[in-house]
Structure 1
Amino acid sequence: MRIKNVLFIFLTLVVLLLAGCSADGGKVTARDVLKQNQDADILKYDGLIYSNVTKLEWFQEKKNQIQKGEEIGKIKKVTTASLFFTNFSATKLPKGTLLYDTNDGYKGMIYVETEDGDALYYMSLLEG
């Protein structure tokens, strides 16, 4: 029950963030996200911020349709400092974690495989 409350709060914050954010030409920044949730699980790739959506209820049905595609890089830095949150930076993923695109037509999705073999899914955050 507590996880649902945390997920609801997180989704509410993301919606508010997306609705009110106009910095960086319509792109959500690490600063925007970390200002709302210091414990956010995000990464940056190709100038966009991606948020972990793996355990979100609405995503559960979609995740079976998403497959690992080509490798696109690996995490170079782990940080919660938004000032120097550059491409291939992450807040939770360990340095060296491989990132993959998806080969299923989903734009704005990154597939991550942990050392334990678990699949994680990150979705890009854009201003709405």
Structure 2
Amino acid sequence: MKIYFTSILFLFFLVGCISTHQSEHPSPEEMLKIDGADIFLLGGYVYSNAEDVNWVTELDYTLGKQIGEISKQSSKASGFKNGTANKLPVGTMIYETNTPAFIVIVNGIEIPYIKMVEG
């Protein structure tokens, strides 16, 4: 299951890298169609759990300032607004790093998330 999700994540990156035209960023609706998706919306961008993405797990990051908090949980795209997650609990803090990854801390465990972009 995790390999499938990681493969889908890789395809999003690959399509974004080879695309020659400007396109919209993935929406919560698109991402929630992926089996096992673990996402949140912040600043109009979808961030996806990246704890199984090799290049992300190899990052040597420094935890920065808190930039957000999960304020709502929803499994339906229509319920998504900034601060909404489909799996992270309400109250989870989101931190920036000195890398492309953002970090959330759940039960003392740091979990990386990356911004889903295309184009």
Q: Tell me the secondary structure at the aligned position of residue 96 of structure 1.
A: coil
Provide TM-score, normalisation by structure 2: 0.81
Distance (Å, rounded) in 2 between the aligned partners of 1:43 and 1:100: 13
TM, length-normalised to structure 1 = 0.76
Distance in 1 of aligned mates of 2:9 and 2:27: 16
Q: For 2:47 and 2:8, how far apart are their aligned partners in 1? A: 14
Find out whether 1:124 has 2:109 as its counterpart.
Answer: no
Number of matched pairs: 116
For structure 2, the 5+ residue unaligned runs are none
**Contact 2:40-2:83 at 8 Å conserved across structures:** yes
The answer for unaligned runs of 5 or more in structure 1 is none
RMSD: 2.5
Distance 1:100 1:59 in 2: 15
Matches of 1:6 and 1:90 in 2, distance apart? Answer: 21
The higher relative CO (CA closer than 8 Å, separation ≥ 6) is in: 2
Q: Percent identity?
A: 29
Q: State the partner residue of 2:38.
A: 41
* CA distance in structure 2 between the aligned counterparts of 1:52 and 1:94, rounded to whole angstroms: 14
Larger relative helix fraction: 1
